Structure formats: structure tokens, C-alpha cells
Amino acid sequence: MKAAIVPQAGRAPVYGDLIEPAPVAGESRIAVTAVALSPVVKARASGTHYSSSGGFPIGVGIDGVGRLDDGSRVYFFLPRAPYGSMAEKVVVPSSHCTIVPDGLDDITAAAIAIPGMSSWVALKERANFTAGETVLVNGATGTSGRLAVQVAKYLGAKKVIATGRQAATLESIKPLGADDTILLNENRDAMEKAFKEQFSGGVDVVLDYLWGESAESLLIAESRAGTDAPIRFIQIGTASGANITLSGAILRSTAIELKGSGLGSVPINRIVRGIEGLFHAAVAGRFQMATKAIPLSKSNGFGRAILMHKSWPRWRPSLLTEHSRSGDSRNRWSG
């Protein structure tokens, strides 16, 4: 069968052939129709993600949408290693599958799962969010951040505050549910002042997709806001840097709960159940997300996208899909 394969560390993926896997007890075979090319997929393919096994060769992709042998349309997560989801067929633990609702097409389901799950699981599993609370999304202009604004509003957030580096892009998030916006700029004092004003007015949950300098400023501003209300700071992504400098006094002097959310901090079965909830919310809430369709056979051209990390902040979601004129559906690769 055809698949996208990374032959060895540091190499770009190639469009090649693999022996089709056979399911064993507890597994399901899936004919793949759509797969997401998300930042976590790129990092795992390059061997830099914390959940990477480090072994090569490996298949590309960690999730997708397809059909079971009985024709059921399902979303699947983490195929049996070393196979990836960017292949014609995969086998997956049956517990890692969930039915895709009728109101969601294959492309949207594959594209929205991982970025949407990042905020859905963070709010539901890590922050213990309840309706009526205020949520600040740090890094709301990326794919995951834009969905986080919509997810928070759908779950009943009283107020959603969005941060980002592009003023025009921040304005475009307001129709999605952002009540206030904060422009991240090089003037750290101004940034901390804007954060402090929001914390003084009451913030319950921070969803952080950036880490780096803006996260430092958020934590400092919270400690100086003079509020006694506990804040749950949920660390999700590191688009602005893998490390920060954090004074121990900030944690001792404030009622802040600092947690991470991702593979490892949440059991896989709960991630899959979270994605199931996200799918139904995406239909009911009419979540918006842009996608671009590209054939799996063009996977050779995505080597730079996977290996050049500095280009990731400018990456936009795309979906690999191929339709014949007669209407049959072939492999789709989404990202």
C-alpha cells in the first residue's frame, strides 16, 4: 500500500510502499480518507516532539478519518507503530476510534480534531472549566488558538480574551467569540500593563499556546494584579519558545495553578472521548476553520514543511484529499 514514510532521522518524508498491516484482537482496520498535517505531526516526524519514539523508519501522521470494514465512518487516533495515518490503510486499537457525526465531513473532521482537542481537553480535563468563567487565550491567532476562542465560547465562557501579534488578525477573531483582544508587541511593560488590567477584572483560566516571553509577562502580571482568586494556567504549546524564566516568588505569592495539557497528561481514551465531544460541538456551534486539500501522492513536497521548524508559525491548515471526476474518494492528507 502507499504511504508517507520518513526513512531516517533528518530526512524528508517520501511517498512509498509499505506492507498493509493486519489487525489483531482489539484492533480495527481502517481505509483512510483524510489525515491532518498538524504541528505535532511535523514534530513527531522530525523526531523532536516529546512523545516521539526516536525509531526510524516511521510512518507520518497520528490521526485521521476513514472507514471500518463494515463501512462505518470513524475518527482514529495513534495507529499501531511504526505505521502512520498518512497511508491507504491503518490498524488502530478499537478504543482509539470514535464515530464521526453526520454533520461533519471527512476533511473538516480530520483538520479540526487535534487543534480543537487542544483547548477542549485543556478546559474539560485540566482546567475543570465551568460555564460563566473568563478565559484568556494566549496565542489566539493560530489555528488552535482560533478554535480555542470558539470552544471556550461554546462551553459557556462569560468572557474570552484573545492575544496575538497581528492586529488585523486579532480583529478577525472577534466574530468568533473574542470579547477583548491584547496585542503582543515588543514593549514588555505595555504588554504586562494590558495583562494586569485583564487580571484585575477577573480571569479564571489561561490557555497558553505560546510560552516564551508572553507567558512570562502573563505570570508576572497576574502576581501583580492583587487578586486572591485562583487562576488555572494551562500550558499547551511552545510557539514562542520552549523555556521561560519563572521566579519562585510568583508561585508562592499567588493562587495560581500551573498545569500542562497534552499527550501524557491526559489518558488517550479521554483524549478520544474529548474529540468525540468536540465533533458534536463543531456541528452544533458551526465552528469555523480553513482547510486546503492536497493529494497524498504529493507528500514528497512536504519535506521542508516538516523539517523547517522556523516556518511553522506561518503554517496554515491544509488537507490532502483527492477526488476523481466520477466522485470516488481516494486518500486525503490534511494539515
**Segment 147-158, tens digit of pLDDT:** 999 999 999 999
Residue 229's pLDDT is what? 80
Q: Report the mean per-residue pLDDT for the chain.
A: 83
Strands 159-164 and 231-235: unpaired
Strands 97-99 and 73-77: antiparallel
Whether the predicted pLDDT of 58 surpasses 60: yes
Stretch 116-134: mean pLDDT? 97
Residue 5 — very low, low, confident or very high, per pLDDT cuts 50/70/90?
confident
Higher local confidence (pLDDT), 133 or 40? 133
Q: Which of 204, 242, 179 is nearest to 128 (CA)?
A: 204
| Of 42-51, 118-127, 289-298, 319-328, the least confident | 319-328
- pLDDT above 90 covers what percent of the chain? 60
Whether the predicted pLDDT of 246 surpasses 60: yes
Higher local confidence (pLDDT), 56 or 197? 197
Whether the predicted pLDDT of 65 surpasses 90: yes
Residue 111's pLDDT is what? 92
Whether the predicted pLDDT of 324 surpasses 50: no
Q: Which of 288, 268, 259 is nearest to 115 (CA)?
A: 288
Residues 6+ apart with CB under 8 A from 105: none
Residues 6+ apart with CB under 8 A from 325: none
Residue 319's pLDDT is what? 37
Whether the predicted pLDDT of 316 surpasses 80: no
Distance of CA 294 to the CA centre of its chain: 20
Classify burial at 47, counting beta carbons within 10 Å of its beta carbon; exposed 0-12, middle 13-18, buried 19 or more: middle
| Of 30-44, 58-72, 223-237, the least confident | 30-44
Residue 51 — very low, low, confident or very high, per pLDDT cuts 50/70/90?
low
Residue 129 — very low, low, confident or very high, per pLDDT cuts 50/70/90?
very high
Stretch 45-49: mean pLDDT? 55
Which helix (H) or strand (E) segment is 276 a member of? helix 268-285
Residue 321's pLDDT is what? 34
Residue 57 — very low, low, confident or very high, per pLDDT cuts 50/70/90?
low
Whether the predicted pLDDT of 49 surpasses 80: no
**What are the distances in angstroms from CA 69 to CA 23, 25, 27, 281, 300?**
11, 15, 12, 27, 29
Residue 328 — very low, low, confident or very high, per pLDDT cuts 50/70/90?
very low
Whether the model pTM is above 0.85: no
Whether the predicted pLDDT of 301 surpasses 50: no
Q: Contacts for 276-281 with beta carbons within 8 Å, 24 or more apart? A: 276/75, 276/98, 276/99, 277/120, 277/124, 278/112, 278/113, 278/116, 278/117, 278/120, 278/151, 279/75, 279/98, 279/100, 279/101, 279/104, 279/109, 279/112, 279/113, 280/101, 281/120, 281/151, 281/154, 281/155
